[in-house]
Amino acid sequence: MYLIVGLGNPERKYDGTRHNVGFEAIDAISKQFGIEVNHKEHKGIVGKGIINGKKVILVKPQTYMNLSGECVLPLTDYYEIDPSTEMVVISDDVSLSTGNIRVRKKGSAGGHNGLKNIINLLGTNEFPRIRVGVGECEGDMIAHVLGRYDAEDRERVDASMEKVIGAVELFLDGDLDAAMNKYNKKEEK
C-alpha cells in the first residue's frame, strides 16, 4: 500500500491558489487513474485504488496546510505505511520557477510549513516528496502562496501535472533515481 499526499487548504476560497497545487496534483492523478477521492478518513479526503498494479491511497489533508501532519501521521499509523518507501508528498515550492518540479528522496522542509509539520509529527524527514514550482515570491509570502496564477503561469502549472504523474509512477515502480534524473532538470525560466 502506498500513500500519495497532496498538500493544500480545504476551503473553496483556496481553490486555484499556489499553495493548493498539491490538491491539484491529487485531482490530476485521480482523473488519470479513475480513483474517486471523496471519502473522509483521518482528517483527510481520500480515495483508494490501483495505479500500475500497486494499491494506493490518494490523500488531501483537510487540516489546513500548517497542520498537514495531523492527517498524515494517523494514516501512516493505521495503514502501517513506511514513510521512507511507501509515501510521497506533493507540495508547492516558491524556490522553483512555475511549472518546474523537483523530486527528492528526503530533506528539510525548506521553509514549507506543511512539510515542517509532517516532519515534526512523523519524527523524520526521510520521505520522498515532489515539489511543484509556483514561482518565486517578490514580496509578501502569504499573499504570494494564497494568490492565484496569471494565465501564462496557469498553463505552466496545468502542464506540470503530467510530470507529477510521471514522477509518481516512477516512485511506485521503486525508481526515485529515475524520477530525479528525468524531472530534476535545469530550471526553465
What is the Cα–Cα distance from 129 to 110, expressed in whole angstroms? 12
Which residues lie closer than 8 Å to 43 by C-beta, 6 or more apart? 61, 62, 63, 70, 71, 74
Q: Is 183 annotated as a binding residue?
A: no
Q: Is 66 annotated as a binding residue?
A: yes
Q: Is 14 annotated as a binding residue?
A: yes
Active site annotation includes 39: no
Q: Kind of pairing, strands 54-61 and 2-6? A: parallel
Q: Which residue among 19, 42, 112, 144 is the active-site one?
A: 19
What is the Cα–Cα distance from 44 to 37, expressed in whole angstroms? 10
| Active site positions, annotated | 19
Which residue positions form the known binding site? 14, 64, 66, 113
Which residue positions form the known binding site for tRNA? 14, 64, 66, 113
